[in-house]
Amino acid sequence: MTRSPSTSCALTCLALASAACFAIPASAAEELTLYTTREAGLIQPLISAFTAQTKINVNTVFVKDGLLERVKAEGARSPADVLMTVDIGNLLDLVDGGVTQPVKSAALDAAVPANLRGTDGQWYALSLRARVLYADKAMKLTSFRYEDLANPKYKGKVCIRAGQHPYNTALVAAMIAHDGEPEAEQWLRGVKANLARKATGGDRDVARDILGGICDIGLANSYYVGQMKSAKEGSDNRKWGDAIKVIRPTFSNPKSGGTHVNISGAAVAKSAPNKANAVKLLEFLVSEPAQVLYAQTNYEYPVRKGVALDPIIAGSIGQLTVDPLPLTEVAKYRKQASALVDKVGFDQ
| Domain CATH code at residue 224 | 3.40.190.10
**Residue 90, CB half-sphere, CA atoms under 13 Å: how many?**
24
Phi–psi pair at 262, nearest 5 degrees:
-120, 175
Is 216 part of a structural domain of the chain?
A: yes
Identify residue 137 by its one-letter amino acid code.
K
Predicted confidence band at 20 (pLDDT cuts at 50, 70, 90)? very low
Per-residue pLDDT for 11 more than 60? no
- 71 with 182, same domain? no
pTM of the complete model:
0.86
What is 130-186 written as a DSSP string? EEEEEEETTS--S--BGGGGG-GGGTT-EE---TTSHHHHHHHHHHHHHH-HHHHHH
CA distance linking residue 221 with residue 111, whole number of Å? 23
- 293 with 195, same domain: the answer is no
Report which of residues 40 and 203 the model is more confident about.
203
Q: Write the CA distances from 15 to 9, 19, 25, 198, 314, integer angstroms.
A: 10, 11, 16, 70, 54
User: What's the pLDDT score for residue 21?
Assistant: 32
DSSP at 308: P
- DSSP secondary structure letter of residue 117: B
Average predicted confidence (pLDDT) for the chain? 91
Is 183 within a domain? Answer: yes
Residues 76 and 219 grouped into a single domain: no
Alpha-carbon gap, residue 295 to 318, rounded angstroms: 13
* In a shared domain, residues 255 and 292: no
In-domain check, residue 182: yes
Residue type at 316? S
Contact at 8 Å (CB) between 144 and 247?
yes
Dihedral sign for Cα 224, 169, 171, 197, please: positive
166-179 helix and 88-96 helix, angle to the nearest 10 degrees: 80
Closest Cα partner for 252 from 183, 335, 166, 318? 183
What pLDDT sits at residue 1?
41
Tens of pLDDT, residue by residue over 191-224, are 999 999 999 999 999 999 999 999 999 999 999 9
The verdict on 241 and 270 lying in the same domain is no
Residue 145 CB neighbours (<10 A): 14
Tens digit of each residue's pLDDT (9 = 90 or more) over 225-247: 999 999 999 999 999 999 999 99
Which of 65, 76, 79, 75 has its CA nearest to residue 34?
Answer: 79
> What sign results for the dihedral spanned by CA atoms 166, 309, 317, 212?
negative
Tally of structural domains, the chain: 2
Tell me: pLDDT of 172 over 60.
yes
With cut-offs at 50, 70 and 90, classify the pLDDT of residue 41.
confident
Is the pLDDT higher at 76 or at 119? 76
**Do 40 and 159 belong together in one domain?**
no
| 12 domain residue, yes or no | no
Q: How confident is the model at residue 253 (pLDDT cuts 50, 70, 90)?
A: confident
Query: Could you tell me if 172 and 51 lie in one domain?
Result: no
Task: Give the per-residue pLDDT at 9.
Answer: 39
Residue 15 inside a domain? The answer is: no
In a domain, 146, yes or no: yes
Burial classification of residue 16, based on how many CB atoms lie within 10 Å of its CB (0-12 exposed, 13-18 middle, 19 or more buried): exposed
Comparison of pLDDT for 20 and 179, the residue scoring more: 179
Closest alpha carbon to 115 in 334, 331, 325: 325
What average pLDDT score do residues 258-273 get?
96
Please check whether residues 214 and 242 belong to one and the same domain: yes
pLDDT of residue 8: 39
Asked if residue 133 lies in contact with residue 247, where contact means CB atoms within 8 angstroms, the answer is yes
98 occurs within a structural domain: yes
CB within 8 A of 345, min separation 6: which ones?
192
* Whether residue 171 is found in the same domain as residue 41: no
Q: Are strands 261-269 and 158-159 parallel, antiparallel or unpaired?
A: unpaired
What size, in residues, is the chain? 348
Among candidate residues 173, 185, 210, the one with its CA nearest the CA of residue 332: 173
* pLDDT score, position 39: 84
Structural domain of residue 337, as residue ranges? 130-259+320-343
- What are the start-end ranges of the H helices in the chain? 5-16, 40-54, 67-74, 88-96, 106-111, 166-179, 181-193, 203-211, 223-229, 236-242, 275-285, 288-298, 311-316, 327-331, 334-343
Are residues 216 and 307 located together in one domain of the fold? no
Same domain? 209 vs 291: no
pLDDT of residue 28: 46
Is residue 42 a part of any domain in this protein? Answer: yes
Cα–Cα dist 135/2, whole Å: 72
**Alpha carbon separation from 304 to 37, 128, 194, 265 (Å, rounded):** 22, 10, 37, 13
Instruction: Report whether pLDDT(257) > 80.
Output: no
Contact status, residue 218 vs residue 134, Cβ threshold 8 Å:
yes
Same domain, yes or no, for 141 and 248?
yes
